[in-house]
């Protein structure tokens, strides 16, 4: 049962990922990413990470993806030329991707850590529950938590700076550039 769930999730996550990379229209890529994220959330559930899975769906697939969709709609369809201007890139990119995968897999499979080979230890009830996560977060990772909030603030400020109100003179500059 668990295996089936895993493979379903894995296929969803992988398929989504490949679709993100492979689809020509960015809008579809965004949608594919949503599929990927949701599948991943399923895998998180299998790993007893309920809170993470929930956050994944709510925050990520929900909020963040909405941003993507907006922007994708705003900037419109972007045509990517088929012609590859960088010599060797087309050959090397998949090659390196493959090599990367092989290396990481060797690291995982070649590791002598016993725990890798089984499902993991029996875990107490409530592992991964919001309560436990909350406790760990506030007891041990308070700084991370606080910093993350500052980071969000800063990112918001950054987004405002970059995409926010139009400032005087900007139109003029952009007109100049187009003319």
Partner 1 sequence: MSATTYAWLVLLFPLGGSIVIALGYRTWSGRTAGWIGTGAIALSFVNAIAAFVQLQGEPAKARHLTSTLWDYANAAGLDIKLGILVDPLSVFMILVVSGVSMLIHLYSVGYMGSDRGYTRFFSYLNFFVFSMLLLVLAGNFVLLIVGWAFVGFASYALISFWYRRATATGAGMKAFVINVVGDVGLVFAAILIFRELGTFDYLEVFDRAPGGFHTNEWTIVAICLLILVGAFAKSAQLPLHTWLPDAMEGPTPVSALIHAATMVTAGVYLIARTHPLFELAPTAADIAAFTGLATLLVAGSIALVVTDLKRIIAYSTMSQIGYMVVGVSIGAYSAGLFHLMTHAFFKALLFMAAGSVIAAMANRQDIDRMSGFGRAMTFTSVMLIIGSLALAGFPFTSGFFSKDAILSYASTRGGMYEIFTVLGYVGALMTAIYSFRIVFRVVAGEPCSEAEELAETGHVVHAEPENPATGDVEDTDVGFPGPEHHIAEQAPTMRMAMGALAVLALIGGVLQIPGVDDAITKFLEPTFEDSALAAIQPSVGDEWRDLTIGGAIAVVGIFMAYLLYVARPASTAVLVRRLRPLHTFLVNKWYFDELIDVAIVRPALAVGSFCNRVFERLVVQGLVAGTVDVVRGAGGVVRTAQSGFVRSYALLLIGGFTGLGLYFLLSSS
Partner 2 sequence: MAVEWYLVLSALLFAVGAGGVLIRRSPLVILLCLELMLNAGNLALVAFSRMLGNADGQVFALVVMVVAACEVVVGLGLIVAIYRRRLPLNVDELRGLRG
Partner 3 sequence: MNFNAPDIDYAALSPVIALTGGICVVLLAGVFDRVRRAVPLLTLLTLGAAAGLFIWQWGERKDLVAGALRLDELAVAVALIAILAAAFCVLISVREPAVSQAGSGEYHVLLLGSVLGMTLLAQAQNLVSFFIAIETLSVPLYVLCATNLRRAESLESGLKYLIIGSMGSATLLYGLAFIYGGSGSTDFTGIAAGIGKEGVLGDPLVLVGIALAATGLAFKISIAPFHQWTPDVYQGAPTPVTAFMAVATKAAAFAVFVRFFDVALAPEAGDWDVALAVLATASIAVGNIGALGQDSLKRLLGYSGIAQAGYMLGGLVVASEAGINALVFYLAVYSLMNLAAFAVIVARERETSFGDEIRAVEGLGSERPLLAWPLTISMLALAGLPGTAGFIGKLYLIEALVDGDYTWLGVAIAVGTMISLAYYLRVVAAIWMRPAEDTAVTAEVPAVAGASPEADPIDADAGGRWYLVGPALLAAAATVFFGVIPQPLVEWAEHAGAALSQFLP
Enumerate residues 47-66 that contact partner 1 by CB under 8 A. none
40: exposed, middle or buried (Cβ count in 10 Å: 0-12, 13-18, 19+): buried
Residue 4 Cβ, how far from partner 3 at the closest point, in Å?
25
What length is written for the chain? 179
Q: What DSSP state is assigned to residue 115?
A: G
Enumerate residues 135-154 that contact partner 3 by CB under 8 A. 135, 138-144, 147-148, 150-151, 153-154
CA–CA gap between residue 14 and residue 22 (Å, rounded): 12
Q: How many CB atoms lie within 10 A of CB 26?
A: 18
Using the contact rule CB under 8 A, the part of the chain among 9-17, 34-42, 60-68, 159-167 near partner 3 is 159-167
175 is an interface residue for partner 3 by CB under 8 A: no
111 is an interface residue for partner 3 by CB under 8 A: yes
Task: Write out 41-64 in H/E/C secondary structure.
Answer: HHHHHHCCCHHHHHHHHHHHHHHH
Q: How many residues bind partner 3 (CB under 8 A)?
A: 39
The C-alpha angle 98, 102, 106, rounded to 5 degrees, equals: 175
Q: Which does 54 bind (CB under 5 to 8 A by kind): partner 1, partner 3, partner 2, none?
A: none
Q: Which of 38, 42, 43, 57: binder of partner 2 (CB under 8 A)?
A: 43
Three-class secondary structure of residue 23 per DSSP: coil
Enumerate residues 151-170 that contact partner 1 by CB under 8 A. none
Residue 94 Cβ, how far from partner 1 at the closest point, in Å?
11
Question: What crossing angle do the helices spanning 2-22 and 26-46 adopt, rounded to 10°?
Answer: 160
Residue 54 Cβ, how far from partner 1 at the closest point, in Å?
32
Q: Which residues bind partner 3 (CB under 8 A)?
A: 103-104, 106-108, 110-113, 116, 126, 131-132, 135, 138-144, 147-148, 150-151, 153-155, 157-158, 160-162, 167, 169-170, 173, 176-177
């Amino acid at each position: 049962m668990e295996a089936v769930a895993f493979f379903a999730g894995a296929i969803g996550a992988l398929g989504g990922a490949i679709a993100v990379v492979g689809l020509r229209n960015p809008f579809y890529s965004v949608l594919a990413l949503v599929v990927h994220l949701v599948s991943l959330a399923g895998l998180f559930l299998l790993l007893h990470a309920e809170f993470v899975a929930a956050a994944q769906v709510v925050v990520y697939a929900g909020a963040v993806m909405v941003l993507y969709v907006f922007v994708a709609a705003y900037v419109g369809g972007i045509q990517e030329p088929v012609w590859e201007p960088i010599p060797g890139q087309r050959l090397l990119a998949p090659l390196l991707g493959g090599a990367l995968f092989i290396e990481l897999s060797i690291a995982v499979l070649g590791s002598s850590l016993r725990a890798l080979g089984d499902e993991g230890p029996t875990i107490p009830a409530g592992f991964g529950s919001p309560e436990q996560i909350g406790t760990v977060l506030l007891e041990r990772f308070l700084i991370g938590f606080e910093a993350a909030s500052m980071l969000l603030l800063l990112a918001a400020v950054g987004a405002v700076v970059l995409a926010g109100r139009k400032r005087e003179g900007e139109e003029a500059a952009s007109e100049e550039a187009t003319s």
